Amino acid sequence: MTGTSPSGLTIHDLEVRFPGLEHPALAIAALDLAAGAQVAVTGPSGCGKTTLLNILTGLERIRHGAVVWQGVDLARLGEGARDRWRAQNVGLVMQDFHLFPGLSAFDNVVLPQRLSHVRLPASVKGEAQRLLERVGIAAPEQPIETMSRGQMQRVAVARALVARPRILVADEPTASLDGEAGAVVADLLVELAGEAGATLIVASHDVRLVGRLGRVLRLEDGRLVDR
């Protein structure tokens, strides 16, 4: 497992261009986030939120500028190195869960760790059980396809945190849930990230979730217009 020390972020001169677009898809001159910050990224569809998350997590290559997490500049890492950095430091919660039918809630939570260990450490098993209990999953052996969407997203939150990441990133984590289930997931993201000391970055249109976070970054046409 990675440690629980939080990670701060510094961005400067970041510019992302896509073929066929006249203007940059993303252009951020400077941005600093304190270690352990809880931040919402908002803005209209197509404003660059997902592109920003892909950059911050190393999913997309940085061709111009710097994105530095606790001394590590992702712009200087090749694809394989970014993949390793992300596995060691980042937990991801997506709108569509990305869980595997045919596996139990527990097996979905530990699957990424099974793929990276010859033998699953007992500490990972214990953390998975603890997190599933913490997010309110009473039957860890229940097949994931028999669960409600709210339960599935809670399993996804547990999976994102099981390796004790320094950074937790969520992309519209409540968008496909009803109001009650979305509120539960929002509470869990904020509370569990705080308990872990992880930097939390959430792209969302959900005003209830955004209102729970300590800082709001608004994007329009790929640029920060309101902090």
Q: In whole angstroms, what separates CA 50 from the centre of its chain?
A: 11
Distance in angstroms (rounded) separating the CA atoms of residues 166 and 163: 9
* Residue 5 pLDDT: 42
Cβ distance 42 to 211 under 8 Å? no
Q: In whole angstroms, what separates CA 177 from the centre of its chain?
A: 17
Angle between helices 122-134 and 105-116 (to 10 degrees): 150
Distance in angstroms (rounded) separating the CA atoms of residues 104 and 78: 34
The pLDDT tens digits for 158-205 are: 999 999 999 999 999 999 999 999 999 999 999 999 999 999 999 999
CA distances to 16, 151, 175, 179, 190 from 208, rounded to whole Å, are 30, 19, 12, 10, 12
* Residue 7 pLDDT: 62
Domain 9-226 has CATH 3.40.50.300: yes
SS3 per-residue string spanning 97-139: CCCCCCCEHHHHHHHHHHHHCCCCCHHHHHHHHHHHHHCCCCC
* Residue 120 pLDDT: 83
SS3 per-residue string spanning 173-198: CCCCCCHHHHHHHHHHHHHHHHHHCC
* Residue 200 pLDDT: 97
Q: In whole angstroms, what separates CA 126 from the centre of its chain?
A: 22
Structure-token pair, residue 207: 């005003």
Structure-token pair, residue 80: 């394989």
Arithmetic mean of pLDDT over the chain: 93
* Residue 226 pLDDT: 60
Which neighbouring-strand residues pair with 183? none
